[in-house]
Amino acid sequence: MSQVVDARGMRCPLPVIHLARRAADEAPGTLLEVWSTDPAAASDVPAWCRMRGHDYLGAQPHEASVVGGAGHTAYLVRLAGDPQRPPAAGATAQP
């Protein structure tokens, strides 16, 4: 089950800032679902994952509803390794 980072209504760079703060508090392997209404998140979240060495698993649009409020996109991220430290240059996976 994923943990939600609710960044609906926030503009760039706030969704990624909230994602980074939450990632710092979670263990490797945690799934984070970033909810955002900001169109820039479509490129910002995957770029943040690449820079920090986390796995970007894709996006899923959600329509507006009476229960859930405004429509948003959910970006799914799996945390890998130390969420504070980007991968070392030239690092290779160990078998």
What are 62-74's pLDDT values in tens digits? 987 766 567 899 9
Active site residue 12: yes
Q: What pLDDT does residue 82 have?
A: 60
Beta bridge partners of 64: none
Domain count, the chain: 1
Q: What pLDDT does residue 49 have?
A: 98
Query: What is the C-alpha to C-alpha distance for residues 47 and 73, in angstroms, rounded to an integer?
Result: 16
Q: What pLDDT does residue 68 have?
A: 58
Instruction: Kindly report whether the global pTM for this prediction surpasses the value 0.85.
Output: no
C-alpha dihedral over 81, 3, 59, 56, to 10 degrees? 0
Residue type, 38: D
Tell me, what CATH number does 36's domain have?
3.30.110.40
pLDDT single digits (tens) 9-62: 999 999 999 999 999 999 999 999 999 999 999 999 999 999 999 999 999 999
CB 45 within 8 A of CB 19: yes
Residue 88 lies in a domain: no
Question: Among the options 2, 8, 9, 12, which is catalytic?
Answer: 12
Its domain, for residue 43, covers 3-78
